[in-house]
Structure 1
Amino acid sequence: MLPTTANALGTHILLELNQCPAALLLEKDTLETALVQSAEAAGATVVKPIFHQFSPHGLSGVVVIAESHIAVHTWPEHSYAAIDIFTCGDPVIASRIQAEIEKRFAPAQVSGQTITRGPSV
């Protein structure tokens, strides 16, 4: 789990997920479901998911949540997903979303960073 700062306006987690199961990175509905369920399980409020399937493969999408958003870009040929989690307010929600995503994506390797957004309040 990456550290967060409790006094920032927002928390932005940048995740690099390597060696993910290809099936999750190839199918639009499967990926969308995984991210929506991750947000809901973390206590976030899902507003709307929007995803696009590229040809021959790869997906990009965003799950708009009341707290901000989760964005994803996949490269199935490299078993790789780049995910951004941005939440306003309680930084614990971003950390919970990260944990849920890692559980569902089951990557062999995770790296990333947490950025605090806005002035401390």
Structure 2
Amino acid sequence: MAGGVGGRVVVGRHVYGNLYGCDARVLGDEAALITIVKEAVRVANAMLLSIGSYRFGPNGGLTVFAVVAESHISIHTWPEHGFATVDVYTCGDHTDPKAAFDFIVEKLSPKKIEVFYGDRSMYSE
């Protein structure tokens, strides 16, 4: 229950969104996106466990994801449409998923953004 009766027992914050009008060259640059995600992990104050990527065909989009001790950060791209989705979910008071999301947005320079927030915490009764 958001804003529950008691305090938060488990802190979970989810920031995700859609980015329109991004530079197709950046969205198709696997090395650049990996660097952006690694830096976003640092900005979030999370601990990187692993990072991976997958390209959908020779000229297709990319998925770049970081598994962090606190959860995950991912970017999914469609360069042909200048479109990307970004997902940052972290647990713990020490992390800042919004800062990581904002960092990624800054690097992808979209013309339009839709951002969503989810409280995935557990509250005491």
TM-score range, shorter chain: 0.7 to 0.9
Change (3 A) 1:76 1:111: same
Which stretch shifts more, 14-23 or 85-94?
Answer: 85-94
In 1, the alpha carbon distance for the partners of 2:94 and 2:123 equals 12
Q: Distance in 2 between matches of 1:18 and 1:59?
A: 15
User: What do residues 65-114 of structure 1 show as CA deviations (whole Å, max 9, x unaligned)?
Assistant: 12210122110011010111100012851111112112211111111210
- Give distance in 2, aligned partners of 1:111 and 1:91: 25
The partner residue of 2:12 within 5, 10, 15 is 10
Q: Which position in structure 1 is the counterpart of 2:73?
A: 70
Instruction: Tell me the number of residue pairs that the alignment of Structure 1 and Structure 2 aligns.
Output: 117
The structure 1 segments of at least 4 consecutive aligned residues displaced by more than 4 Å after TM superposition are none
CA RMSD of aligned residues (A): 2.0
Give TM-score, length-normalised by structure 2: 0.83
Distance in 2 between residues matched to 1:45 and 1:23, nearest whole Å: 29
Match of 1:33 in 2: 35
Find the counterpart in structure 1 of residue 64 from structure 2.
61
- Equivalents in 2 of 1:99, 1:48: separation in Å? 21
Moved more, 75-84 or 110-119: 110-119
- Identical amino acids, percent of aligned pairs: 29
Question: Does the 8 Å CA contact 1:20/1:107 hold for their aligned counterparts?
Answer: yes
Q: The residue matched to 1:20 in structure 2 has which SS?
A: coil
Q: Is the 8 A contact 2:37 2:64 kept in 1?
A: no
Judge conservation of contact 2:43–2:96 (CA < 8 Å) in 1. Answer: no
Counterpart CA distance in 1 for 2:71 and 2:95 is 14
- Name the aligned partner's letter for residue 23 of structure 1: R
- Structure 1: give runs of 5+ residues left out of the alignment: none
Question: For the residues of structure 2 that align with 1:41 and 1:104, how far apart are their CA atoms?
Answer: 13
Q: Which among 52, 63, 83 is matched to residue 86 of structure 2?
A: 83
Q: TM-score, normalised on structure 1?
A: 0.85
Q: Residues of 2 paired with 1:43 and 1:103: CA distance?
A: 18
